Amino acid sequence: MSETPIDAIMRIMDAAFDPQWGEAWTRPQIESALQLANTLPTLVAATGTRAAVPGEAVGFAIVRAAPGEEEILLIAVDPRERRKGLGRSLIAILATDARRRGADKLFLEMRENNPARSLYEAVGFRQIGRRKDYYSLGDGARMDAITFGLDLDKS
């Protein structure tokens, strides 16, 4: 049977997130998030364009759209397809979609030590906040969250 969008998201999620950080969402969490009209998935193919069918997807993002601003809740690329510009392509697609819906700001939050920071800074995100001890790492340790913002009218 061919994959559904949620199948594709879970396939990439399971491969992409290191369990030690507890960042991956479960299938029920994804299913209930995507029932909300303002929570939107994007699937990207290895070509860097939107996946024509879910089975073609090697990366995904989930965005929450609010009037005037959007937030990237999750973004991931299959480890075998990294450092080929797909994360950058995904963010470009998200920015285009957000602008089309009338947003002028894109936000995201990441754990302080996530190497994804280099990607976000490379595409123009700037740190706008820090949430102390926001993430709990399972072994009792805590880690700060960094909030990034991107001005869509300037990018």
Closer to ligand COA by Cβ: residue 1 or 121: 121
Q: Which of 6, 17, 99, 143 binds ligand COA (CB under 6 A)?
A: 17
Rounded CA-CA distance 20/137 in Å is 7
Contact flag: residue 95 with ligand COA (CB under 6 A): no
Helix (H, G, I), strand (E, B) or coil at 17: coil
Angle in degrees, 0-180, between the axes of helices 5-16 and 27-34, rounded to the nearest 10: 140
Closer to ligand COA by Cβ: residue 102 or 129: 129
Name beta bridge partners: 134. none
Contact flag: residue 57 with ligand COA (CB under 6 A): no
Rounded CA-CA distance 92/65 in Å is 16
Report the interface residues with ligand COA, using CB under 6 A. Answer: 16-17, 75-77, 82-88, 110, 114-116, 118-119, 122
